[in-house]
Amino acid sequence: MSLAQLVNLTKTYHMGADVVVEALRGVDLVIERGEYIAVMGASGSGKSTLLNLMGCLDRPTEGRYLLGGDDVSRLTDAELSAVRGRHIGFVFQSFNLIPQLSALDNIEVPLFYQGMPRHERRSHSQELAERVGLGDRARHKPMELSGGEQQRVAIARALANDPLILLADEPTGNLDSKTGAEILALFDDLAERDRTLIVVTHDPTIGQRTHRIVRMADGRIVNGDT
């Protein structure tokens, strides 16, 4: 069974009485376990909308989204939140770390909401910090870390709940080329460990590192098996 399947997925936004935006128009996509996929396309092509739906941040207007065998396309907000907490990890361009917390505490946040006991949270978060190369920086707050280190914290946090799927939105967009390459090497390592990764990017060099490129235009997939 595939890990995720999108079936005739559409998303329409009503911006006013006479303004309708068709962000997605009948998207079909199958994602296998362990795939590393780049989603590419021009601005306005539907990439971010697709990522939001796959991350259960929104629900489709029509169509179905099967994740781990379950249809999550018609869940309530509370049910979608529970799915996100259990099965999905997010890595954002802007890191989205909590500035008042240390790196270790930021990594712990998803585990706190899952109800994991404190000593288990701390042990697991320290292990993740070391896995992404931050063992000696785990007690620092985000403002005391470089951009690359902050993104490593974000990746560790995204992995904390052992997600079915890891979603990244322009994960190197705010990094210099050297630091971006280090983050991509970390993604390569995750892919080699059979993590399922979906990366939205404008950078063709990132696409070249993945197993498959899904190209989007005008809310449709125009080539999904490169």
Which residue segment(s) compose the domain that 90 sits in?
34-63+75-223
Domain-embedded: residue 117: yes
Domain-embedded: residue 68: no
Position 1 scores a pLDDT of 67
CB 53 within 8 A of CB 71: no
Position 225 scores a pLDDT of 52
Domain-embedded: residue 23: no
Position 224 scores a pLDDT of 55
Domain-embedded: residue 219: yes
Per-residue DSSP letters for 36-66?
A: EEEEEE-TTSSHHHHHHHHTTSS--SEEEEE
Domain-embedded: residue 27: no
Position 226 scores a pLDDT of 43
Position 66 scores a pLDDT of 94
Neighbouring C-beta atoms of residue 215, cutoff 10 Å: 18
Task: Tell me the CATH number at 126.
Answer: 3.40.50.300
Q: Is 76 exposed, middle or buried (CB count within 10 Å of its CB: 0-12, 13-18, 19+)?
A: exposed
Q: Which residues pair with residue 199 across a beta bridge?
A: 38, 168
Domain count, the chain: 1
Domain-embedded: residue 158: yes
Reduced to 3 states (helix: H, G, I; strand: E, B; else coil), residue 99 is coil
Domain-embedded: residue 28: no
Domain-embedded: residue 190: yes
Specify the DSSP element, H or E, that contains 71: strand 70-71
Which residue ranges in the chain fall short of pLDDT 50? Answer: 226
